[in-house]
Amino acid sequence: MNLKSIAAVSLAVLLSAGVSICASVWLSLHWRQPAGDYLRAKRIEILDDQRRVRGVIGTTRIDGREMPQVVFLDEKGRTSVLLRINERGEGTLYFSSKDIEGKVAIGYVSGSDVANSGGSEVTDEENSVGAWGVHVLGPDLKSLSLAYSNTGQRFVSAQ
């Protein structure tokens, strides 16, 4: 290889490196995305090291309507914690499954928070039988609730 060839190769390498550096600097200065103020998604899944779904933030269908919920699952994929809003907008936090023995619910445990005016329309008036409190589903699926109704009366139900 003669001196001319070495000079040509060296010049090509230097020009290539220079162009790459200039392009990288320009792109880093002019193509920055601003930090977002929010994240939008239909569903967020939390995975463990074995890539099993252990939590979900998303929506579910209740009586034909899409309602938000947060679910935490045990290692077998069973619901351990469920935070859900019902079709009326009332929230309840369930520990364990909402359908099996051992469930504990905290939040809206009975009735509706607002009175129904005959049809499906809801008025601003509070429903006197609606109650907020704690509900436990025990052995043999017997339930016990301790809550306060919308009128302030103590609400205790045993099945």
Q: How confident is the model at residue 70 (pLDDT cuts 50, 70, 90)?
A: very high
Token pair for residue 121?
């329309």
Question: How far is it, in rounded angstroms, from Cα 19 to Cα 58?
Answer: 47
Average pLDDT, the chain: 74
Per DSSP, the three-state class of 129 is: coil
pLDDT: which is higher, 145 or 68: 68
- The DSSP element (H or E) to which 133 belongs, if any, is strand 131-137
Per-residue pLDDT tens digits for 74-96: 888 888 888 888 777 778 888 87
Q: How confident is the model at residue 51 (pLDDT cuts 50, 70, 90)?
A: very high
pLDDT at 148: 79
Per-residue pLDDT tens digits for 19-41: 666 566 666 666 666 777 788 88
pLDDT at 108: 78
106 CB burial (10 A radius; 0-12, 13-18, 19+):
middle
Token pair for residue 15?
């020009």
The arithmetic mean of pLDDT across residues 131-156, rounded, is: 77
pLDDT at 115: 54
pLDDT at 142: 75
User: Amino acid identity of 63?
Assistant: D
